[in-house]
Amino acid sequence: MTLLDELTARTEEMARVTLDLCLVESPSEDFGRLAEVAEHTAELGTRLLGRAPEWITEQDRPALYWEPAPGGVLLLGHLDTVWPIGTLARWPKPLRTRTTLSCPGVFDMKAGVVQGLYAMAALGSPAGCGMLLTTDEEIGSPVSRPLIEKAAARAGAVLVLEASADGALKTGRKGVSRYVVRVSGRAAHAGLEPEKGVNAFLELAEQARIVASFGSGGLTVTPTLAAAGTTTNTVPAEAHFHVDARATTRAEQDALHARMAALSPVLPSALVAVDGGPNRPPMEAGQAQHLLDLARATARDLGLGDIRAVSVGGASDGNFTAGIGIPTLDGLGAVGAHPHAEGEYAVIAELPRRAALVAGLVARLLSPV
């Protein structure tokens, strides 16, 4: 029996387990629910793998870690979702159809977590393969980043269980930088003596135009959320706006950071200050070519067809692992659609197929040369 045959025979079990995991709502900032979903997943993993994970808590935030042998393969995922508590109660029914599972977090990325655990189980839970599951990916991994980088540093390769809209693997992801541009002016009565004020709103508009002009080619620089002023009859003394920037290379990201730090006021007597910087380094496309070649060979051997590769603007924790030089292949999780949108779903028939792809790729990576 092949890996694909073995896992296909467990399709119904995988679908049921995935749905059970999704019924535990787990928004990124609800520590009680995160502990609940981590406990649920730890029990599942212990049953499937025959070994319990290390439970790691940082700042009241849990993570689960099945440690691989040095130089082995690390499967990387997260258990938090973008959905607030109560979303499940209003989610369109049914949650399961003949072909799909649709519930909060199933596509991003609880189905991928289940697939990873079943892939490891299909290989007999080899010592060379481990898994790290965090609970703050959806908010930028501010707590988990050191843990992710430490775990990745002892591995020879990282396979990220994030979802894929059409089955394509992700070999490149843009790096993310986030900024807040703060403007200070001088208040004055808007009707009696506006000329005595320094309008922070007008300075904000000038700075937003300048910042937006930094985008070029693959680099996107987008002013987003903004605020200015206190009352309708006062020249605004304070204003600020947020910036979302996505870069394809580290050099591009660093150059943008220098330009943001050098922003200066346009209006006389206005002040400009910039907070923030790079949040995730780029996952540059060339770093995963060897892993992609192995994944394609694995897919051919399993009869899974051709595997496409794409580079995308969205980031994941794979940006961190690639950023420290560990070969990283992403998009190995669920196949479905609509991440972060009501109606997100995962295709049931793809659960065993993707699990088999992960298992076969791990087996190749762990095989002696």
Q: What is the domain-level CATH number for residue 155?
A: 3.40.630.10
265 and 312 belong to one structural domain: no
pLDDT tens column, 208-229: 999 999 999 999 999 999 999 9
Residue where one domain finishes, among candidates 234, 251, 280: 280
183 and 257 belong to one structural domain: yes
119 and 161 belong to one structural domain: yes
Half-sphere exposure (Cβ direction) of 359: Cα atoms closer than 13 Å: 27
Domain containing residue 113 = 3-174+282-366
Question: For the chain, what is the radius of gyration of the CA atoms?
Answer: 23
242 and 340 belong to one structural domain: no
Residue 1 confidence class, pLDDT cut points 50, 70, 90: confident
132 and 217 belong to one structural domain: no
189 and 298 belong to one structural domain: no
pTM for the structure as a whole: 0.91
Place of tokens 């995935």: 18
Q: What is the domain-level CATH number for residue 221?
A: 3.30.70.360
Mean pLDDT, the chain, whole residue set: 96
125 and 103 belong to one structural domain: yes
Residue where one domain finishes, among candidates 280, 299, 330: 280
* Closest to 272 measured CA to CA, from 205, 221, 215: 205
Amino acid at 329: L
Q: Find all residues with CB under 8 Å of 352, minimum gap 6, and list them.
A: 4, 7, 8, 10, 11, 14, 118
* Closest to 135 measured CA to CA, from 81, 82, 85, 80: 80
Strands 328-329 and 157-160: parallel
Burial of 315 (0-12, 13-18, 19+ CB in 10 A): buried
pLDDT tens column, 280-310: 999 998 899 999 999 999 999 999 999 999 9
* Beta carbons within 10 angstroms of residue 59's beta carbon: 9
pLDDT tens column, 80-135: 999 999 999 999 999 999 999 999 999 999 999 999 999 999 999 999 999 999 99
CA dist list (Å): 58 to 32, 73, 244, 321 = 14, 24, 27, 19
Coil, helix or strand for 31?
helix
What's residue 369's pLDDT? Answer: 63
pLDDT tens column, 138-196: 999 999 999 999 999 999 999 999 999 889 999 999 999 999 999 999 999 999 999 99
Quick one: average pLDDT of 353-367? Answer: 97
Number of domains the chain contains: 2
pLDDT above 70 covers a percentage of the chain that reads 100
274 and 215 belong to one structural domain: yes
* Closest to 200 measured CA to CA, from 212, 211, 188, 213: 188
Rounded Cα–Cα distance for residues 125 and 107 (Å): 24
